[in-house]
Structure 1
Amino acid sequence: MGNVIANASMSLDGFVAFEDDTIGDLFEWYDNGEVEIVTEGELPPFHVTPASADYWRSWVDSIGALVVGRELFDVTDGWHGKHPIGTPVVVLTHEPPLDWSYPGSEDFHFVTEGIVAAVTRAKEIAGDRDVALAAGTIAGQALDAGLVDEVAIDLVPVVMGSGKRYFGDAGPARLGDPTAVVQGRRVLHLRYPVERG
């Protein structure tokens, strides 16, 4: 069984998006290097530094399923049926969409029973691989429920001032020393274990 890992690009002051779901310069690091990364679905390739490319490939290769909330699903229109990293997606929602369908949309699974059920379903899909959690409300709920094993942050040198926090309104938690520190261009990739008890 793999780990459950919260992940996102984050500003220095802890935000993953503005309140209107725009991201400002948070994704600038996705296109400031010389190594091309080809994505799945409709998004064009992006270009990162060799260090970021190695980190990205290792991260993507480890993921067996992704858990997102309904808000991110709606903002992206479910990535038109194919997530950019090509992994199955579990969407935590109060109500599944009635008329959403794209080729590949069979890789999207809608769970209405809460964060524990969503992570459980993602683990079933992922098998021995890791489960990624979108930062924000979903990651906060999972952290509060004791479901998060690791936190992965792509720390970007911008201050957003306000917006949506990495862990939403989650309560306090303690993380261990970083297990990965990788310097890219205008990004620092960090991984932390979540301490239990």
Structure 2
Amino acid sequence: MGMVLTDMSVSLDGYVTGPNDSRENPFGDGAEDLHAWLRPTASDDDRAIVQQVIETVGAIVMGRKSFEKNEGDGGWGEAGPMGDVPCFVVTHHAPDRPYPPVFTFVTDGVASAIRQAQTAAAGKDVHLFGATVMQQALPLGLVDELHLHVMPILVGGGTRLFGPLESAVALERIDARITPAATHLTFRVMRP
């Protein structure tokens, strides 16, 4: 079975969006460069990291806010955020209108969404999209690794990647790469 991991661009001060993020302003104020390492002008090292993600992702779990914010004006079309990779959206209420079959709306919580995603991933990794889903899954012991792409920017507000925890979570650093655009860090979540 593949791993469950979060793979997020984050500012040095811990934000994944700037203030006032919305569908019209998905990165939030002042945070346009949070994903600069993904641009076509990024380095070969950055592109290699992206390629590794593409090759290993088997399913995605995202929250409803991330789903709606990234839907765009024309909707999702016939594909999800990574083409035909199955995507499980954690929500309180399934939408009334139809969406492409790549999307499954899960109304019984993040643990159920992750279980369903692991089955669909067929041995590949499950990627958590969005801070809220990760903040729910980490305290439940459902996250295996954190892949953080730390951008050289202080955003000062917005959506924090990490929320309050009832107890400390021990991590083991297993990789660190510095590219012209970002510092890419990988941590394994240590189990008690």
TM-score (norm 2): 0.87
Match of 1:83 in 2: 80
Matches within 5 A, 1:1-197: 1-21=1-21, 22-23=26-27, 24=31, 25-31=33-39, 46-77=40-71, 79-86=76-83, 87-101=85-99, 105-171=100-166, 172-177=168-173, 179-197=174-192
After TM superposition, the structure 1 stretch with the greater mean CA deviation from structure 2, 167-176 or 143-152, is 167-176
Q: Is the 8 A contact 1:141 1:170 kept in 2?
A: no
Could you say if the C-alpha distance between residues 81 and 17 of structure 1 is closer, same or farther in structure 2, counting changes exceeding 3 Å? farther
- SS of the residue corresponding to residue 176 of structure 1 reads strand
**Residue 170 of structure 1: CA displacement?**
4.2
C-alpha separation between the residues in 2 aligned to 1:30 and 1:67?
20
Aligned residue identity for 1:53: R
**Residue 60 of structure 1: CA displacement?**
1.6
Identity level (%): 33
| Structure 1 residues 82-111: Cα deviation after superposition (integer angstroms, max 9, x where no partner) | 23422211000001111143xxx1011110
Aligned residues: 179
C-alpha separation between the residues in 2 aligned to 1:4 and 1:84?
17
C-alpha separation between the residues in 1 aligned to 2:65 and 2:185?
25
**Residue 164 of structure 1: CA displacement?**
0.7
C-alpha separation between the residues in 2 aligned to 1:150 and 1:52?
19
**Residue 140 of structure 1: CA displacement?**
0.8
Q: Is the 8 A contact 1:81 1:108 kept in 2?
A: no
C-alpha separation between the residues in 2 aligned to 1:180 and 1:60?
18
Which runs of structure 1 show a deviation greater than 3 angstroms over 4 or more consecutive aligned residues? 78-81, 168-172
- SS of the residue corresponding to residue 101 of structure 2 reads helix
Query: Structure 1: 5+ residue runs without aligned partners?
Result: 32-45
TM-score (norm 1): 0.85
Q: Is the 8 A contact 1:140 1:168 kept in 2?
A: yes
- SS of the residue corresponding to residue 128 of structure 1 reads coil
Match of 1:42 in 2: none
C-alpha separation between the residues in 2 aligned to 1:193 and 1:173?
10
C-alpha separation between the residues in 2 aligned to 1:70 and 1:126?
20
Query: Structure 2: 5+ residue runs without aligned partners?
Result: none
